[in-house]
């Protein structure tokens, strides 16, 4: 599992935004992954997607790495942010915008506002 931890660590630290998910950003394989990837895609976030279904070591390793039992998992600037429920909550409250702004991650503010308006 050390190899998986090393690969995860390198991916998380060398990319500004990483989503460990089931499937890919263009072809999610579960509803929760689809929701988070959809939010990031809609907001115009340039993110790296890691398909945990393609690698069993990574699929198990990411849960140990973050000490978080579910997938998807979002990382921003090397820090674990959360899973689907947390990202949804942060998107609707505006906290995700703040997180991206504080970390210099470009995103479409109008798109973020449209998500909130549609869910108000």
Binding residues for [2Fe-2S] cluster: 30
Output the known binding site: 30
- Residues 49/13, Cβ–Cβ less than 8 Å: no
Q: Taken in order 57, 39, 116, 80, is the CA torsion positive or negative?
A: positive
- Residues 1/29, Cβ–Cβ less than 8 Å: no
Paired tokens of 66:
């973050």
Helices and strands (DSSP H and E) totals, the chain = 6, 4
| C-alpha span between 86 and 92 (Å, rounded) | 10
């Amino acid at each position: 599992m050390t190899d998986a931890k090393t690969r995860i660590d390198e991916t998380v630290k060398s990319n500004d935004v990483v989503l460990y998910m089931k499937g890919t950003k263009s072809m999610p394989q579960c509803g929760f992954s689809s929701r988070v990837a959809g939010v990031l895609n809609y907001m115009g976030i340039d993110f790296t997607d890691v398909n945990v279904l393609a690698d069993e070591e990574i699929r198990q390793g990411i849960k140990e790495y973050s000490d978080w039992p579910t997938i998807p998992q979002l990382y921003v600037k090397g820090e674990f942010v959360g899973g689907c429920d947390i990202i949804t909550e942060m998107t609707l409250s505006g906290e995700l915008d703040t997180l991206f702004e504080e970390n210099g991650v470009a995103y479409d503010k109008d798109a973020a506002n449209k998500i909130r308006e549609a869910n108000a």
